[in-house]
Structure formats: structure tokens, C-alpha cells
Chain A
Amino acid sequence: MTDELDRELQARLQGAAERIGSKTDRLEEVQLAGNRRQDRRRVVASGAAATAFVVALGASLYAVASFGGAETVIVSPPANGGDDSASGSAAPDVPGTTAGPADDGPGATDPPASETTSGSAADGADDGSNPDSAGTTGPVTTGTRPTLPDDTGASTLPGGDTTIPTATEGVVGSVDTTAGSDDPYVLTTIPLPGGVTAWEYTYVDVVVQQWTDGVDDCVRVYTPVELDPAAPAQTIARQGNYEVCQQGEVAEGDWYVETDELPQIMFLLYALPPLDPAAVWVSNSTGGQIDGFVDGEYWGVEVLESFQPTTLHILRLNGQEETIDLPSAADDGTALRLYIGRPMALG
């Protein structure tokens, strides 16, 4: 009976599939779209020599700085909305969010204590198909990052560069807070998995403001860093329990994070297989939990509306779980530091 049912099931599935018919051939459109996105990515990457981008578009402020010359990111408003009236105006300064001194552990090189970032700002004329590609103005922002407390005494933030720490432990998390606030940075030390000597970091700083229409509340972070979209999925067993922003095609093919009504804490931390398959998620004080995820495109931990995350969890392959306390939710305008970590192998 079971075999008959399996055969019947298979036959019915095939019958149903046949009735669905063929898909409209969109090969040409797919290739055009792919090429267009690739061009867009190249535009972003071409700005990598600049040390910072700040994009100010209309009433909403989106500022991103990249450091160390290794990253260039752009945060843009939704493709279909926002006040696009800004014309050539740079973003207001965002003090306290750009690279400053940070103990990045032995072997790393500290950036200057006070760093003036400069670069090409976008032209302010958002045509709805961001990222803006024609940067015309700058310099854009000057900021001094506050000194970071080292709460562990053993490890510290890896500064503003992407130098690979040579320490035997790596700092894996930091959440920046509203510029000038007293909220603490979060630092922690997490034992490195076997066979790994250090964590390689890169990060971006983002200043967030809620979308003016209150609905389109996505933060988009563009990076020229090429992430292997297939590999990280192997590290996360949970799949599908996530939500990402899909406002406009500008986000397609790039990784980004989403905030809801309260842009609060976003944390990106993922280790790539095969060295450290780990799950990452956040929970709140009542035990609620949001899965971390890595899917075909996106790395991140989302924070949903009405969910005040208090703890970041990192589950190692060996079953060991580390937790990191997160600062309380901040208001709109929170500066976020997003990390991507990758363990470095011995040798």
C-alpha cells in the first residue's frame, strides 16, 4: 500500500506539474537584469579607493563610512520614496561614528585617533535606482570615535582597519550606539574554534534614520565585498525564519540589513565553513528568539518590531553556546557597527 501510494503520489505530482505548464522564457530579461546589477556592483566597487562615503538624500540621513580602504558602502533610501530634494548637499556630520583609536590586539595597526574621512558624496539626486553612482561632492564628515572600553581586559575591538589580528582570541562583537550617548559598546571574547588562529574582520558603520513614510524602513548596505552566497548557508540549520527588505530592486543581489520601526541593533557575525559552522540568533528578556540566518544572499540578524533583543547567541558546532548582552534599544539615528567575521586558518 505504501509503495502504491508513493507511486500514486509521484504520478499526481507529475500530473500537477504538467498542468502548471511551462514557465515563460525570460532568459533575455534575466541576463539583462544580471548585467545591470553587475554594472551597479562595479560602480560601487569602483569607489573603493575612497575612504568614506556619506550619502545625504533629502530629509533622511544615511551615512556610511568605510575604513581602511578595503570597503566602500553606500546606504540609500528606498528606490521609490523619500525626499529626493537634496541636491549636492553632503550629509551632516556624524560625530562619533568614524574610525578612531581602538585596541585591535597585538599585531594590528591602529588607525589615527581622530580620523577625517573624505570622499565623494553622492550627488543627492536620487533617481530611485540607487546607489547613486556619480559622486560629485565631498569631503563629507569628520568624526572622532570615542575610546572603546575594553570590558574583558583580554581582547578589544579590531580598530578601523581590516588587519587580521594575530591574537589567539578574537573579538567578535560590537554594537555601536547613538553618537555621543553613554550606552556602552559591547565587547566580548569568544574562543576561537580549533585550527583557527584569528578572526578576520571587516565592518561598516551605518547611521540609520527611519524612513519618513514610516513604512519603508529598510536600511541598505552595499558592499563590494564578494561574499560567497552559497557557502554560509551550510553553517545555519535554520532556514526560512527571517525577513528581509525587498523595497525596489536596488537591494537585489547585495547584502543588507533591515530594521523595523525601531532601528536598533543589528549585528552581523558569521563564520564561514568549514572551520566554524555556527548559528547566530538574538533573544529578548522573555526568552523570545529570532533566528539568525544565512541564506543564499543575506547575512544578518534581523530585529523585528516589538522585539527588544537583549542577548546575542552564538552556537558553535561543538554545541558550545556563547552569549553577548546587547545594549538597550536606541532611538532613531542609532549608529550601528556591523561586523562580518571570518576565522582564519592556521598557517
Chain B
Amino acid sequence: MTTTLVATLASTDSFDEFYQTEVDGLYRALSLALGSADLASEAVDEAMTRAYQRWSKVGALDNPAGWVYRVATNWSISRLRKHNRERLGEDWSATKIDDYADVDLYRALSRLPVDARSAVVMRHLLGWSTAEAAEALAMKEGTLKSKLSRALGQLREEMERV
């Protein structure tokens, strides 16, 4: 077996492990952040495919899941904007996250900007550090903290109101 092939197989194994470990968490977090489980599912598939393509680089990152999250979010936003502009094609609202109950929580989340929602789910669902979340969102850690603080404050207000 050649060295290259061995390296390729090792890399593939590494990606397999990453995929199996992270895919559910990313899917759930993105579902909440995007408000659509269907969209999140496709976005995760897309981002995972891109990660696989460049796994030698992505796999070497401190938080490859953060990279996948960011790509998935960007892809989703692109998709939504394209869809909204053209008014045709896929109906991304088909499986809204409200379908999964706790409507109050979803409504409160939906009032936040996507990056604020992402900050919340990264910290409180995925358990990422502020540094990891900041990197995934391509923002400074201080910005992430302030964004998170505002988001939580808004969520508190919404939930208290309910």
C-alpha cells in the first residue's frame, strides 16, 4: 500500500469519526438557529461535503465543527435569499422548527438575528467556548460575548413575558 493511499485512508477514517461525532449536534443547533430542520439538514450535508473535500485542512483546525457550522450557515443564508428573491423552487418553510413544540422558545429565538441565535446555540447547546464560537462566527471574542449577552437578555425578556 502506498504512503499516499495510507494517508488517504487515515484521513477518511478521521473524517468518518468527525462526521459521526458532530453531525447530530450541528444539525440540531443549526435547526434551532435557522428555524428549519429541513434547511439545516441540507446545509449540514453541504458543509460536510465541503469539509470532506478539504479535510486535510479543515481537520487540522482547532474546531472543525465551527468551520462546518459557518459554511452551513452561509450556505443556508445564500439559499434563503436566493429563494426569497426568485419566489420559486424549494419551500424552505415546509418543516419549520415550530413543528417540534416549545413554540415560545422558537419564537423568542426567531426574533434574534441569525448570528445571535448561533451564538446562543453554540454556547448553550453545543457547549463551545466563547473563543470557539467566536472563531466559528468569524468575529472577535469580545464581539461574540457582547452579542451573546444581548441575545440572552432579549431571550430572558421574551421568556419572562411568556
Contact = CB atoms under 8 A, between A and B. Distances in A.
B45 A30 contact: yes
Interface string A8-26: 1110111111111011111
Contacts of A240: 73-74, 77, 114-115
B7 interface: no
B145 interface: no
B78 A13 contact: no
A229 B138 contact: no
B159 A8 contact: yes
A253 B49 CA distance: 9
Contacts of B77: 240, 242
A9 B57 contact: no
A346 interface: no
A228 interface: yes
A194 to B, nearest CB: 20
B67 A13 contact: no
Contacts of B16: 27
Given A230-B58, A245-B82, A252-B46, A239 B102 contact: no
Interface in B34-53: 37, 41, 44-50, 52-53
A15 B19 CA distance: 22
A246 interface: yes
A29 to B, nearest CB: 7
Contacts of A13: 32, 105, 120-121, 124-125
A200 to B, nearest CB: 20
A225 to B, nearest CB: 14
A200 B88 CA distance: 41
Interface in A189-208: none
A23 B23 CA distance: 7
Contacts of B86: 215
A37 B52 CA distance: 10
Given A20-B97, A26-B45, A30-B45, A239 B74 contact: yes
B72 to A, nearest CB: 8
A16 B52 contact: no
A233 B28 CA distance: 24
B3 interface: no
Interface residues of A, number: 49
A236 interface: yes
A159 to B, nearest CB: 31
A23 B105 contact: no
Nearest to A232: B138
B20 A27 contact: yes
Contact of A244 (B28, B82, B137, B138): B82
Contact of A23 (B12, B41, B155): B41
A38 B15 CA distance: 16
Interface in B129-146: 137-139, 143
A92 interface: no
Contact of B32 (A16, A244, A246): A16
B53 A16 contact: no
A228 B61 CA distance: 12
A176 interface: no
A2 B160 CA distance: 10
Contacts of A15: 102
B152 A9 contact: yes
A239 B75 CA distance: 12
Closest 4 CB pairs of A and B: A296-B71, A34-B52, A23-B27, A17-B28
Given A38-B53, A240-B77, 11 more contacts: A16-B105, A17-B125, A30-B48, A228-B57, A230-B57, A233-B70, A233-B138, A240-B74, A243-B85, A244-B82, A297-B74
12 contacts: A9-B120, A9-B124, A22-B27, A23-B41, A25-B20, A29-B45, A229-B71, A233-B70, A240-B77, A240-B114, A246-B79, A296-B74
Interface of A: 2, 5-6, 8-10, 12-20, 22-27, 29-31, 33-34, 37-38, 215, 228-230, 233-234, 236-237, 239-240, 242-246, 252-253, 295-298
